[in-house]
Amino acid sequence: MNYTLKKQNTAIDFVKLVGISFLVACPVAWWVVNKWLEDFAYRIDIQWWMFAVAGLAAVTIALLTVSWQAIRAAIANPVESLRDE
């Protein structure tokens, strides 16, 4: 039970960090992309859903990474870990 709570807290912490970094990066990315696209004759407008997809991909990758590491730690033999130290 305690292990499950710790794993969930770790995942929530990573999602919070990814969310904060996404909120910081979105305005900067929007400004840089708009400045870059101004130089093209045929340009597109940046839509909100493009940032939403990028944020969702970042959260998904973070959750998959945390889950993978938690599963590896749960399956690992502690003797093998102690033998290397």
The C-alpha atoms of residue 25 and residue 38 are separated, in whole angstroms, by 20
pLDDT at 2: 53
Question: Domain count of the chain?
Answer: 1
The dihedral region occupied by 43, where left means phi > 0, alpha psi between -120 and 50, and beta the remainder, is: beta
Q: What is the pLDDT of residue 56?
A: 94
Q: Give residue-wise pLDDT tens across range 34-81.
A: 999 888 888 888 889 999 999 999 999 988 988 888 888 888 887 777
Type of residue found at 81? S
Predicted pLDDT at 8: 61
* Element at 8 (helix H, strand E): helix 2-37
Rounded to two decimals, what is the model's pTM? 0.71
pLDDT band, very low/low/confident/very high, at 82 (cuts 50, 70, 90): confident
Give the domain extent around 28. Answer: 2-84
Judge whether residue 85 has pLDDT over 70: no
| CA-based nearest residue to 24, from 53, 51, 61 | 51
Give rounded-to-5 percent helix, strand, coil for the chain. Answer: 85, 0, 15
